[in-house]
Every structure is written in structure tokens, then in C-alpha cells.
Amino acid sequence: MSSSTGGLRAPAPLLARQAERGTAAPSAPPGGRRRLRGPAIQAVAVLVLATLPFLMSSYQVSTMTRILAFALLAVSVDLLTGVTGLPTLGQAAYFGVGAYAAALTALHWTANAPAQLLVAVGAGLLAAAATGWVAVRTRGIVFLMLTLAIGELVHQVADGWSFVGGSNGLTGIASPRLLPGGAPITLAGVVYWYVLAVFVLAYLGVRAVVASPFGRTLRGIRDNEPRMRAIGYRPAVAKFAVYCLAGAVAGAAGSLWITQTRFVSPGDLAFEVAALALLSVVIGGAGSLWGPCLGAGVVLLTRDYLSTYVGGRGSLLLGLVFIAVVYVLPRGLAGLGQRLAVGRRPGGEPRGVRP
Amino acid sequence: MSPVAYALELENVSRSYGSLKAVDDVSFAVDTGARHAVIGPNGAGKSTLFSVLAGTLRATAGRILLHGRDVTDEGEAGRCRLGLARTFQHSSVFLTASVLDNVTMAAQQAAGVSLRPFPLTRRYRAVTEAAFAQVQAVGLADRFAASAGSLSHGERRQLEVAMVLASRPDVVLFDEPTAGMSPAETHRFAELVAGLPPEITVLVIEHDLDVVFSLATAVTVLHLGRVLASGPPAVVQADPAVQSAYLGAASGDALFLTPGGTS
């Protein structure tokens, strides 16, 4: 501190290297082994997921496909709620827009699934850009209410517009094809692999964004928005950008959803979907990306699979799971993983996962 | 444009809350490169004045010029981008992020990469290095990986300073930077300000008059929202109005004795 000269002094090389290590993985403390463990676990998880079609019945595989699509929706909710601190009930709208866009593409243009996916991503992005600028000027409960209103608005449009089938939705979607001129995919396992591949790519993309300077900006907005203004940020710009990105991711999820179900109705963008997606994020742990994916699995399995054992009262069961998680795991499943990791490293500091 | 002598000019700046004028018709100028202190009793309107200067609050009347440019209608972020940055009286940092992350937050905005959606590049490494240099400069180098929430009060004040400097301002507003600091930390802060490049203009609200009179090249005294006196330290120190405002009596010298010298 003897010759402190503001920002003009170059750091000592050794310390600079230290600094780099500290920020290469923004949420992890410096240290090589720890940085490698996360990707290793995720690679194993993807391998396990990829072998499921050999182990499961085709009904179970199609359930897994829907879980993956829903998990991507949960990732888009987490991008807003967990990373940027904007609780949202509006992502079902962009999920629905993507699903309808993909369905219309399938009915009127092509059965090519990647083409449907691109259209759905574009539609989700445009829909988010058209509606998001209202929401991003606000935060907290006002943001929640505005996104809820956007969701209900889009739901009403889908329900009342005969071009998209009104309350009947769109049916008669042909089996998807992966390549132009290729054979239609009818095997549940192949559809699953396609959805898994898109899911992994989208997940890695979102993870890269969260680790980028832009991701740091988003966490700053979550933690202390007034401070961001004082160091020259215009939070509304970053919030609008992440809102559009989340809309695109939700649109992709919608496309994956109908690749499996080959049917879309206003029910797919109803309030219940938005609520379940938010619930997945809370159960999984807002702010971590893999937590909400697990949360999505828990939510859909509870609602669709376990509910048959409790006389169809899946929602009741889901409510109980939610209460249990809030009490036992205030930071969700991701918080549990974090607690285990911290327990193994004495003196370790908790990572930046928020309830 | 010819260089303007004043880094910051206030022309009849007021901020009212209903009938209360927290800042009342304040005019003074800050020389480029000055170490300008704003002092005054509690409730004098110092912090309100800083918020008006930084753009957190809008002036209800008057003009604010930054390097001769009217910034009265600029928002807080806009003024920061024009080189005017502030620290907060009550430390305001990103509690879940590490010390280095906090400073990088400011540095990446100053470098114009805050919206880049892809990770590390060589250019970004330079941002991190600049941030780390700033962490070093305020004396937090050994704490760079600690989360800001685990810092002591004094360390958070240091972190505030690092964040502000990392946003590469040429006018810095320090709002009571040494409040709650230990004497050693206060001394280190004074050293830090003294070591800033001479082209950086510093405006500081300070209660520790030792610090004020060891650092300041100019002093402005606020009282009940108005400017009581403004000028070089020696002149302000001798001003009878200042002495009576601080002490309410004529036994003025005591105000400028070192702490411990009279008690």
C-alpha cells in the first residue's frame, strides 16, 4: 500500500494469475480439483441419461423426454428468477408460443424437427422482446404480476384464436424427421435422444452465458440493483437482454415438448405450467442450473407418475413435496449438494445459491 | 473543446422535500485535480447533496456541470459513464459475490464488456487484472476470494473504494469513507486518496477533521442545506461563521485540535 496509484499500476504477474484462477469459475473458490468435479458429474449424468432408452419401456422413455423439455423450461425460469432475481410466472407463455410455432411449422411447412426448433426459438425470442420491455422496468412482486398478466394474455389469445385451433389446440402433427428427406422418427428412444441432444446444447449454452461477463452483470442485478446504477450500469438493458434469452430458451423447450407429444393446446401455456416451472426452480434451488432440472423431474414424476398411486391426487402430493422442501431444504436440491460439498471441505464458504 | 478548469460546478442547486429544503441554493466549483472536502454538522445536507451530484436524486432546481458539460438531466448510470462515481455512506456491495467479483463488476462495465454473453477472452483477462490491481491498491489483496458478506465493516469500506476506482472515474465522490474505520484503516484511506493520480478529482464528505485538513486543497462547509463557507482550508478554518456553526459558541479553536488533545 505504500505507492497506491489507483488503476494505473500493473499487477504483479503472480497475483494476476491468482486473480484469474479465482474468477475462471465465478461461483467456485480457486482450486483445480473442485473445478473439475462439476463437469465430470455432469458428463456422467449425460451418459446415464443417454443409456435410458435401453433400460426403460417406451412409455417411460417418453416421460423422460417430456421431463427434459420441461427441465429446459425450468432453466429459462431459473435464468430470470435464480440468476437475475426476477420471479416470473410468464415463461409458460413463451413455452407455448414456441410449441405453437413448432406445431404450425410441422402442420404447414416441414416435419424437420431442427427447423421447427429454430422457428420456435425465434418465435419465443420475438414474443419475449415484444412483451418484455414492459416487465423489465420493474422488479420483485410487480415483475411477478406483470409476467402473470402476460401469461394469461397469451393463454387467452391461444384459447380464442381459431387459426391455432382455439381451445381444441392443434392435432395431427406428423412424426418428426431429423434430416431433410429422412425417415420419420417413430421410436420413442430416438425422439428422446434428439431431445436430450438439444437439451444438453441449450444447457451448456445457458451455462456459458451465466459464467460470462453478462452473467456477472445479471447476478449483480439480483444482488444489488441500485449499486449497479452507481457503477454505470443500465439494469433495464441487461434485464431486457436476459428476458429475450429466456424467452428463446422457453421457445426451444416448447418445440421439444411437441416433438414428443405431437399435440398442443392452450393447456400447455396455462398458469399451471408456469407455476409448476417456478415450483421446479424452487425445489431444485434457484440460481444453480442443474438443480431446477432435477426439480423439473421431481415435479413431473410426482404429478404424472406417483399420482396414480395416490388416486390421482398428484397436485396434493406436489403441495406436500413443496412444503417439505421449503422446510428441509431451503436452498433446494442444489443447496443439499452444496451442503455436502462444504461438509467435505473444512472451512469452505457456501456458494452463491439463493433460496 | 478547451479544457475546463472546473471538474464540477454547482449552480444554485436545490433539493426540496415539500417545504423542507435539504439542499438550498448551493453553488460552488471543484477544481480539476482538487481534493475537495465537504464538511458540516449532522443534517447539513451533505449526503443529500452527494446524491443529487451523483444523480441518485434529481435536483429540484439549479444546474450541475461536469467538466463544463451540463449533466443535470443525466441519470445516475449516465453520470458514472461520464466519469462521476460515488461511494455510499452505508457500504453497498454485492454480498454473495467474492471481493474480486465485486470489483470486476465495476471494471467490466468501465471496459464496456458487461453485456458479453460468452466467457473468458484475453481482453476479459485484462479486466480481471485491472480489478485485481484495484483490490491490491485498497489493501484487500489477501482477501480477494472471500465473499463480500464475510468482510468486516472496515474492509467493506475499502471494497467500496476499490469498486469506485475500478469504474475509472475522473471525479470521485466519497461519502464518509472513514466512518467506523479504525485509526489504522483511516490512515490507510488517507494514504490511498493522497496516492490517487493528480488528474482525478476527489470530493469527500468527512467527519474526521484531521483527515480533512491533511488532505484537502479546498473545503466547503454546509449548514442547514446552505453553503456557509467555501475556500482553501486555512481560510475556512478561520471563518467565524464556521466556528459558531460547529460549536455554537465563540471558543472556536477547539474544533481544529487533534482528537485526544483536549479531552
DSSP class per residue in A154-200: HHHHHHH-GGGTGGG-B--PPPPBSSTT-PBP--HHHHHHHHHHHHH
Find the mean pLDDT for residues A211-225: 93
Q: In this structure, is residue B244 part of a structural domain?
A: yes
- CA distances (Å), origin A34, targets A43, A209, A210, A277, B143: 15, 21, 18, 30, 20
Cβ of residue B118 closer than 8 Å to a chain A Cβ: yes
Q: Give the CATH number of the domain where residue B39 resides.
A: 3.40.50.300
* Chain-chain contact of A223 with B95 (C-beta, under 8 angstroms): yes
> Do B11 and B34 share a structural domain?
yes
Q: Which of B168, B188, B216 is the last residue of a domain?
A: B168
* Chain-chain contact of B101 with A9 (C-beta, under 8 angstroms): no
> Do B125 and B114 share a structural domain?
yes
pLDDT of residue B120: 65
CA angle A290–A292–A295, rounded 5-degree value: 115
Which has the closest alpha carbon to A269: A94, A69, A66?
A: A94
- Looking at every residue in chain B, the average pLDDT score rounds to 85
Q: What is the ipTM of this complex?
A: 0.83
Q: What percent of chain A has pLDDT over 70?
A: 86
Q: In this structure, is residue B88 part of a structural domain?
A: no
* Chain-chain contact of A220 with B94 (C-beta, under 8 angstroms): yes
Identity of the residue numbered A251: G
Q: Which of B105, B139, B168 is the last residue of a domain?
A: B168
Query: Does the pLDDT at position A225 exceed 50?
Result: yes
C-alpha cell at A14: 503472480
Residue corresponding to grid cell 426451444: A252
Query: Does the pLDDT at position A221 exceed 90?
Result: yes
**Residues 219 through 258 of chain B touching chain A, CB cutoff 8 Å:** none
- Within 8 A of B97 by CB-CB distance, chain A residues are 26, 216, 219-220, 223, 352
Find the mean pLDDT for residues B173-187: 85
> Do B51 and B155 share a structural domain?
no
- Total number of domains in chain B: 2
Q: Which helix (H) or strand (E) holds A124?
A: helix A113-135
> Do B106 and B117 share a structural domain?
yes
> Do B105 and B190 share a structural domain?
no
Q: Look at residue B176 and give its three-state secondary structure.
A: coil
**pLDDT band at B256; cut points 50, 70, 90:** low
> Do B262 and B176 share a structural domain?
yes
**pLDDT band at B207; cut points 50, 70, 90:** confident
Distance in Å, alpha carbon of A212 to nearest chain B alpha carbon: 4
Q: In this structure, is residue B23 part of a structural domain?
A: yes
pLDDT of residue A20: 42
Q: In this structure, is residue B240 part of a structural domain?
A: yes
Q: Which of B108, B138, B168 is the last residue of a domain?
A: B168
CA angle A177–A68–A295, rounded 5-degree value: 170
> Do B175 and B79 share a structural domain?
yes
> Do B174 and B260 share a structural domain?
yes
* Alpha-carbon dihedral sign for residues A241, A244, A249, A252: negative
Q: In this structure, is residue B125 part of a structural domain?
A: yes
- Within 8 A of A125 by CB-CB distance, chain B residues are none
- Give tens-digit pLDDT for A30-50: 444 556 677 888 889 999 999
Nearest to B97 among A20, A231, A352 (CB): A352
Distance in Å, alpha carbon of B14 to nearest chain A alpha carbon: 21
Q: What are phi and psi of B120, to 5 degrees?
A: -45, 130
Query: Does the pLDDT at position B263 exceed 60?
Result: no
pTM > 0.95: no
> Which residue would you say has higher pLDDT here, B33 or B123?
B33
> Do B159 and B37 share a structural domain?
no
**Contact (Cβ atoms closer than 8 angstroms) between residue B159 and residue B148:** yes
**Contact (Cβ atoms closer than 8 angstroms) between residue B94 and residue A227:** yes
Query: Best mutation site among A23, A79, A349 for testing chain B: the one with the most B CBs within 10 Å?
Result: A23
Cβ of residue A22 closer than 8 Å to a chain B Cβ: yes
Domain, as residue range, for B238:
1-83+169-263
Query: Does the pLDDT at position A231 exceed 60?
Result: yes
Identity of the residue numbered A130: A
pLDDT of residue A34: 57
**Contact (Cβ atoms closer than 8 angstroms) between residue B8 and residue B50:** no
Cβ of residue A14 closer than 8 Å to a chain B Cβ: no
> Do B180 and B97 share a structural domain?
no
> Do B255 and B175 share a structural domain?
yes
